[in-house]
């Protein structure tokens, strides 16, 4: 059980990461929610921080300046006109203190020498006061009856924030400067910034969770719709979605159900028509075999007596014989097509030498002198000999009829897709296949020249050959050779999947009675080259080419 759980973990992780791939709607929804929440939280936090910062600094600043102004009025204004340095020092000590702010008082001593008295020389001296503030303090405002005003600045000393203020007592009194530390306010603002940052992070996480929940609510029906569409594409036409609610997603599910129901009905209708058509072709073919057998026997007798008939009647007799054989071949071909369409065609495999099979096919149709064969002996494969004969009869006959000499057949053994296979190439030196015809050479009843509907072939030869290749698990491709001419390449696995061996009769054309009286083989190919594929000389009108006999 633990192994099963361990095996399911990568699958669940793969599905989870699959849902969060970069192009997924879920991830984009989470990203949008997070971006909106981040923008809103940062904006609100920034505004709150600057408002609180301004309020805190203004409150601390106003409190310190008001206290400094009051202290200056109480202490400095009571000094004599020309105070001594000692009296200035005593006044500075009374105004400033280590728990509030430091003060420097400046005035002229009785001996006319300047005197600067700091409350704490180690903390605050006149040198710490900016020159701009000193000039502002020493400026008399003439528009305000010559009064002096209180001025202040915020400075940084050794990395610490301070408030520096200065004022001069009216009536040429002493000048005082104050230094107030703002470290406490900075700590309060830093704490506020951290709090707002944490609040922003929490808002971002909350937005992501909200987006995940919203995404699950929205995307769950979409995912169910995708799974239902996939099942519908796999052929499960009874797939339906459960419709809940009245929103757009419910309407989409309802539309899908209606479309699936209409598709199911349409497919059932088409399947019924196709089944009826197949039954009609099969029944028609079976019903025609009995009268055709009798007619064939009669035509054989007429053919034997053709020489003794009136010269005016003999051509008609030969025409009847030819058309009867053509009709017989067409019926056999239609029966074979019906078996392929119904899925009842089966293989009767045996291990054979492919080169011997190709040679036997050519020898039975008197093609040995017309075809160059490059097929080494000893290439063994497990396949259905009769179906291989049908394939080769169609490919070689098609090349002889529509191509140009010499026709060459090569056999090789190779490997593709991890399996061993035999490769048979049939090439000719004719005009080749037009590019617009190449995609259709294996289509049923396809003819390169639509105006030439009447031809000796049925137009099913190459399609029958392709079906026989597919039932082996192989394929046939058609192309034009670089030097001119067409090349048909047959690829068959050395051993078909499953290696089924079925001896049930009736799975190939011409199996009803073994060899026929006209000299044809049991697979429906006669010595003249007529094959069960429905083309003369094994050829097919599906591959009619310019100059060919369509």
CA distances for 467 relative to 96, 98, 128, 355, 360, angstroms: 108, 104, 101, 21, 21
Q: How do residues 454-493 score in pLDDT, each as one tens digit?
A: 445 567 788 888 988 988 889 999 999 888 889 999 999 9
Q: How does residue 358 score in pLDDT terms, banded at 50, 70 and 90?
A: very high
pTM, 2 dp: 0.45
User: How does DSSP assign 290-343, residue by residue?
Assistant: HHHHHHHHHHHHHHHTGGGS-TTTHHHHHHHHHHHHHHHHHHHHHHHHHHHHHT
β-bridge mates for residue 165, sequence order: 152, 178
Burial class (CB in 10 A: 0-12, 13-18, 19+), 367: buried
Q: How do residues 176-235 score in pLDDT, each as one tens digit?
A: 888 888 888 888 888 888 888 888 888 888 887 877 777 777 777 778 888 888 888 888
pLDDT of residue 476: 93
d(CA 88, CA 115): 8
Nearest of 508, 534, 152 to residue 347 by alpha carbon = 508
pLDDT of residue 526: 34
pLDDT, average across residues 405-420: 86
Higher pLDDT pick, 413 / 291 = 413
pLDDT value at 520 more than 50: no
Do 65 and 212 touch, CB atoms closer than 8 A?
Answer: no
Do 461 and 540 touch, CB atoms closer than 8 A?
Answer: yes
Tokens encoding 313: 């009647």
Q: What is the mean pLDDT of the chain?
A: 76
pLDDT of residue 542: 35
* H or E element that contains 134: helix 131-137
pLDDT value at 325 more than 90: no
- Which residues, 6+ apart, have CB-to-CB distance to 454 below 8 Å? none
pLDDT, average across residues 260-282: 82
β-bridge mates for residue 412, sequence order: 423
User: How does DSSP assign 159-222, residue by residue?
Assistant: TEEEEEEEEE-TTT--EEEEEEE-HHHHHHHHHHHHHHHHHHHHHHHHHHHHHHHHHHHHHHHH
């Amino acid at each position: 059980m633990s192994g099963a759980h361990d095996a399911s973990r990568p699958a669940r992780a793969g599905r989870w990461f699959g849902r969060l791939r970069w192009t997924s709607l879920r991830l984009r929804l989470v990203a949008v929610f997070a971006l909106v929440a981040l923008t809103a939280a940062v904006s609100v936090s920034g505004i709150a921080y600057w408002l609180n910062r301004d309020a805190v600094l203004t409150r601390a600043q106003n409190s310190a300046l008001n206290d400094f102004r009051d202290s200056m009025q109480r202490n400095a204004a009571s000094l004599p006109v020309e105070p001594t340095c000692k009296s200035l020092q005593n006044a500075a000590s009374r105004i400033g203190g280590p728990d509030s702010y430091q003060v420097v008082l400046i005035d002229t001593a009785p001996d006319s020498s300047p005197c600067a008295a700091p409350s704490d020389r180690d903390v605050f001296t006149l040198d710490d006061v900016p020159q701009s503030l000193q000039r502002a303090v020493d400026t008399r405002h003439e528009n305000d009856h010559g009064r002096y005003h209180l001025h202040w600045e915020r400075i940084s000393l050794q990395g610490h924030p301070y408030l520096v203020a200065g004022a001069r007592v009216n009536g040429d009194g002493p000048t005082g400067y104050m230094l107030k530390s703002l470290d406490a306010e900075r700590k309060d603002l830093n704490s506020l910034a951290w709090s707002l940052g944490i609040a922003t992070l929490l808002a971002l996480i909350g937005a992501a969770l909200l987006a995940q929940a919203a995404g699950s609510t929205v995307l769950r029906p979409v995912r169910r719709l995708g799974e239902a569409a996939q099942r519908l594409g796999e052929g499960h036409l009874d797939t339906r979605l459960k419709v809940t609610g009245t929103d757009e997603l419910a309407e989409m599910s309802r539309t899908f159900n209606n479309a699936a129901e209409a598709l199911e009905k349409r497919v059932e209708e088409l399947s019924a028509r196709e089944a009826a058509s197949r039954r009609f072709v099969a029944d028609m073919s079976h019903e025609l075999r009995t009268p055709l057998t009798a007619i064939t026997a009669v035509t054989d007798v007429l053919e034997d007596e053709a020489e003794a008939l009136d010269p005016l009647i003999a051509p008609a007799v030969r025409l009847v014989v030819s058309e009867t054989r053509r009709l017989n071949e067409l019926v056999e071909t239609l029966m074979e097509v019906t078996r392929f369409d119904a899925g009842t065609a089966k293989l009767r495999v045996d291990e054979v030498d492919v080169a011997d099979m190709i040679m036997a096919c050519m020898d039975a149709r008197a093609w040995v002198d017309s075809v160059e064969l490059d097929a080494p002996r000893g290439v063994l494969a497990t396949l259905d000999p009769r179906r291989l004969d049908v394939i080769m009869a169609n490919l070689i006959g098609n090349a002889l009829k529509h191509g140009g000499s010499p026709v060459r057949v090569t056999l090789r053994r190779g490997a593709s897709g991890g399996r061993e296979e035999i490769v048979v190439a049939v090439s000719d030196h004719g005009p080749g296949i037009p590019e617009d015809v190449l995609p259709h050479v294996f289509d049923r009843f396809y003819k390169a020249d639509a105006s030439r509907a009447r031809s000796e072939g049925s137009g099913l030869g190459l399609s029958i050959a392709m079906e026989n290749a597919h039932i082996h698990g192989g394929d046939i491709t058609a192309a034009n050779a670089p030097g001119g001419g067409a090349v048909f390449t047959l690829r068959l696995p050395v051993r078909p999947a499953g290696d089924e061996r079925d001896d049930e009769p009736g799975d190939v054309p011409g199996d009803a009675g073994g060899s026929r009286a006209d000299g044809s083989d049991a697979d429906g190919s006669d010595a003249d080259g007529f094959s069960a594929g429905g083309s003369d000389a094994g050829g097919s009108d599906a591959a009619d080419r310019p100059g060919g006999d369509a």
